[in-house]
Amino acid sequence: MPQSKENFLARRLSVALALWFLFPCGAVAHDACVYLTDQGEIRSAKTLKEVPLSFRSKAVCKDSEPQEIPQTEEVKLAGNQRGSSFGTDLGRMDVRWLRESERCFSSNPARVIARAASAVNRAIKGGRFSPEIKTEHRDWSLILIDRASAVSQFPMALSLGGHPGFMVPPNQIYIVVDAVAPDCRPTPENDAALLRVLLHEMGHVVDFALMDGVSTLGERKRTEGFASWFEGYASKNVSEIPQGSIARDYHLLVRDTDLVGEVEFSGGARDYGIAELEFETIVSRKGISGLMSLYQLMREKQCSLYTALKDKFGWDSKVLQREAKAELSGASAR
């Protein structure tokens, strides 16, 4: 039975932030290890000795869980791997992936990445982004990894949390193939899903560049909001994704616009929907140039997005909520 669109999005967008979320249903608090079966199922065990011997080498236990994300070039791929290095308008892309991952997409992963880079470049050049963002070139490093390889090398929240991709500043992108294309079939739908994840993660790189490394209060909500909005904004440059579909998908996750504003971002699907709506509303009302002025203020004052909104446009939480509600209503009517 097909999943509803909301459930599909929730699975793709949710990030596990607490250890209990990482264990399958039925696991209890004293379960200490997790492992993947040959079918890709997540199982738990109280101790390493209770993990079947054939899976023990790849089991992850609380006391042995990796605490840091390795550099993309240090990630080990178990199997026949391929790589490609090619130039784009954004800079050089160095990519690695498992050969068996190719059967999950109808196009070579490097070609999909090249299309995503082209879409991002056209989005930046076609909008009123800061001049330095338009002209900046950088070397990018990307890796497509299967979940089994990720389990022993990434923190549990990333390897088992169901998140399809993540970015490590300034320009390293990690894609978990099993989460992007769980059915692993060479379909246009899986290509589109990979494009979406790439546009989102490349959006994180753009956000980091706009902030020039400055960290502010509420940073996670801001960066996820920008990346989610940018994902939809850049998707207009790829034919595989229907126009406006990404924004509509995020709108499905928004239940209550009263949660717009300085509300804690916990990583749930609804949080992503609200964070995207905030940026969509700002751009709709103030344009990309207005958004760039907010980033300039956040950099200079090292302040949050909401402080910058108040200082620059006089928007407090009530105004943002009102404008977001109007934006959501207007989008529903279109």
Question: pLDDT tens across 292-319, in order?
Answer: 999 999 999 999 999 999 999 999 999 9
Average pLDDT over residues 4-28: 35
CA distance 173 to 86: 16
Cβ neighbours of 261 (radius 10 Å): 18
Alpha-carbon distance 25 to 211, whole Å? 40
Q: What is d(CA 160, CA 154) in angstroms, rounded to the nearest whole number?
A: 9
Cα gap 106→237, rounded to integer Å: 19
Q: What is the mean pLDDT of residues 38-65?
A: 79
Poorest-pLDDT segment among 129-133, 245-249, 295-299, 330-334: 330-334
pLDDT value of position 133: 94
Query: Cβ(85)–Cβ(93) under 8 Å?
Result: yes
Q: Residue with structure tokens 């902030």?
A: 211
**Does the pLDDT value for residue 27 go beyond 50?**
no
Average pLDDT on 309-332 reads: 94
What pLDDT sits at residue 160?
Answer: 62
- pLDDT surpasses 90 at 68: no
Write the DSSP assignment of 89-147 as a string of letters: TTEEEEEEEEGGGGGGBSS-HHHHHHHHHHHHHHHHHHTT--HHHHH----EEEEEE-H
Range with the poorest average pLDDT among 25-29, 42-46, 117-121: 25-29
Assign 19 a pLDDT band (cuts: 50, 70, 90): very low
Both tokens assigned to 219: 């940073």
pLDDT of residue 32: 75
What was the pLDDT predicted at 192?
A: 96
Whether the per-residue pLDDT at 222 is higher than 80: the answer is: yes
Does pLDDT of 264 surpass 90? no
Provide the angle, in degrees to the nearest 10, between the axes of the packed helices 219-234 and 269-301: 110
Percentage above 70 pLDDT, the chain: 87
- Banded pLDDT at 64 (limits 50, 70, 90): low
Of 144, 179, 139, the C-alpha closest to 160 is: 179
pLDDT digits (tens, 9 = 90+) for 126-145: 999 999 999 988 999 999 99
End-to-end Cα, the chain, rounded Å:
30
pLDDT for 1 equals 32
Of 152 and 294, the one with more pLDDT: 294
pLDDT score at 268: 86
Q: What is the mean pLDDT of residues 111-131?
A: 96
Q: Which of 305, 229, 230, 236 is nearest to 274 (CA)?
A: 229
pLDDT at position 230, please? 98
98, 144 in Cβ contact below 8 A? Answer: yes
Q: What is the pLDDT of residue 65?
A: 64
> What number is the average pLDDT over the span 248-272?
88
Beta strands in the chain (DSSP E): 33-36, 42-45, 60-61, 81-88, 91-98, 140-145, 165-168, 172-176
Q: What is the mean pLDDT of residues 145-152?
A: 82
Cα torsion 21, 59, 194, 169: sign: positive
Contact 150, 9 (CB under 8 A): no
Distances (CA, A) of 266 to 40, 174, 227, 251, 316: 27, 21, 16, 18, 22
Higher pLDDT, 281 or 17: 281
Cα-Cα-Cα-Cα dihedral sign, residues 136, 141, 146, 149? negative
- Range of lowest pLDDT (9-13, 34-38, 241-245): 9-13
Phi-psi region at 262: left, alpha or beta (left = phi > 0; alpha = psi -120 to 50): beta
pLDDT at 105: 97
87 pLDDT band, cuts 50/70/90, is very high
**pTM recorded for the entire structure:** 0.83
